[in-house]
Structure 1
């Protein structure tokens, strides 16, 4: 059966065991051949600069390499092979194009790359034929403001984190939500997490799990000085402002993949992005199935 997805971008890190530059990745080659057998034209991501992760598939003359922008413009599906970090990076870049993404897990947990590598063919056959569940995930648009000017601008799918320096004490942060002052907080840091990011750093810091359909964010302090300072669930329509009032060597992290150093008086402004990431899952997929599997709930039960 011919796939309704005619132009598919295969994206992922090159992980051939013991491979040298130019050697083939048998897993990625196998996935590419499978896609071709389903009637798909396969493309790969064009390798980027030295400061970016190496991409998965040496193309030779067989697969055309496209930039991320070209993938967004020319492809109707992105198949991402790797861990959640790989999906976070490409998801932010492709969100503006509205291209749907399917994740094959080649990492560890795999909350958003949720198809097992050892069963990808059986899972993908009905999906490529149009049998799937669609899941939209919100993005955060964050800016670092200094003296009224934007000095750093980034999107985040998981979280925006303001952290103390590695060798310094607590930071003092002034937090506002919408037009309302919330509190001055002293802590090791503060996390603003989306529903997608509620299973990441925010969970480790004691935050709640947030279903992806909830239009909200969770504000989670990291080791707060005041024990009554607890996680707060917020509507994602509100702008959140975190001002650095005190502390040395503080920084702001965006999905733990980009970093901005902060000076006293800097303001980290977080708003809901205009873009969302489109994920496709196997028919019958459930967020709760993912939680049970990845967090090992009910182990030993019936």
Structure 2
């Protein structure tokens, strides 16, 4: 089969250099996947940080913006965290991503490591399911000015400091007052992020095609403060009313030491992340496998 994608980027799971050099097995894995792609007629570009850590020199090297400009596809080897980081950065380029799971859960990196030789050829030839995922654009506004901005694929979280008590948060949607929440914090989750922190805080599962967000309080003081599913064209504003050492995180990209009166404004990003899955992929199959739901009899 001739490939639909001829210029393919390869990104590996980062490892902190402080913990020591990358394992030989990881280096061999990335070299093997790169050679496999070349066998199918693809030119391979290794992401710059991946190249530095693996010390592989047989492939072209580019940073993320270079990959977005020149590559038709990005293959990510790692866990969901790696996929989140790459997906956020490549969304503005429209580059599709395929995930090979080297992590534990693998909600969005759905090709098992042992299966890539049998699964990738058909996908490279154009047999795949495309899955578009919404992104959040979050801003921290202080005294009328934006002091921080980031995109998030999973969630924007506003919460209390590690050593402080509850925070009080005023929530507005499209300029309409919703409630003041006294809680450990609040989560604004995308459908992708509904299986992450939001789920552990009691939030609902949202199908990825659903145009909505989950607004989920974390350990609220008032038990009637329940999670709400909101339409995603809206704008959510969260204001710090009371509490010490509150912070905001955007897929774990953090801004600490928020002040009283700071507003965290969240809306839909103009960009989407493009995931490619093997033909026949089903979101419900993923949920059933990862959450250990029963198949039933018959």
TM-score (norm. length: structure 2): 0.94
Residue 290 of structure 1 is aligned with which of 286, 291, 297?
286
Q: Please state how far the C-alpha of 1:57 moved relative to its aligned partner.
A: 3.5
- CA pair 296-263 structure 1, distance change in 2 beyond 3 A: same
- CA pair 57-183 structure 1, distance change in 2 beyond 3 A: same
Q: How does 1:169-180 map to 2 (within 5 A)?
A: 169-180=165-176
Describe the SS at the equivalent of 1:203.
Answer: helix
Check conservation: 2:166, 2:182, Cα contact below 8 A. Answer: yes
Give the Cα–Cα distance (whole angstroms) in 2 for the partners of residues 22 and 194 of structure 1: 34
Check conservation: 1:28, 1:56, Cα contact below 8 A. Answer: no
How many pairs does the alignment contain?
A: 294
Q: How does 1:195-234 map to 2 (within 5 A)?
A: 195-234=191-230
Residue 44 of structure 1 is aligned with which of 40, 46, 57?
46
Q: Please state how far the C-alpha of 1:300 moved relative to its aligned partner.
A: 7.7
Describe the SS at the equivalent of 1:25.
Answer: helix
Check conservation: 1:12, 1:55, Cα contact below 8 A. Answer: no
Check conservation: 1:145, 1:269, Cα contact below 8 A. Answer: yes
| Residue 242 of structure 1 pairs with residue 244 of structure 2 | no
2:32 equivalent in structure 1: 30
Give the Cα–Cα distance (whole angstroms) in 2 for the partners of residues 101 and 204 of structure 1: 27
Give the Cα–Cα distance (whole angstroms) in 1 for the partners of residues 29 and 254 of structure 2: 29
Q: Please state how far the C-alpha of 1:119 moved relative to its aligned partner.
A: 0.8
| Residue 5 of structure 1 pairs with residue 5 of structure 2 | yes
Give the Cα–Cα distance (whole angstroms) in 1 for the partners of residues 190 and 118 of structure 2: 31
Give the Cα–Cα distance (whole angstroms) in 2 for the partners of residues 232 and 131 of structure 1: 37
Task: Give the root-mean-square deviation of aligned CA atoms.
Answer: 1.8
Check conservation: 1:44, 1:57, Cα contact below 8 A. Answer: no
Q: Please state how far the C-alpha of 1:101 moved relative to its aligned partner.
A: 0.3
1:51 equivalent in structure 2: none
Describe the SS at the equivalent of 1:261.
Answer: coil
Q: Please state how far the C-alpha of 1:47 moved relative to its aligned partner.
A: 2.1
Check conservation: 1:83, 1:106, Cα contact below 8 A. Answer: yes
Residue 58 of structure 1 is aligned with which of 51, 55, 58?
55
- CA pair 21-197 structure 1, distance change in 2 beyond 3 A: closer
2:144 equivalent in structure 1: 148
Give the Cα–Cα distance (whole angstroms) in 2 for the partners of residues 299 and 2 of structure 1: 37
Give ranges in structure 2 of 5+ residues lacking alignment: none
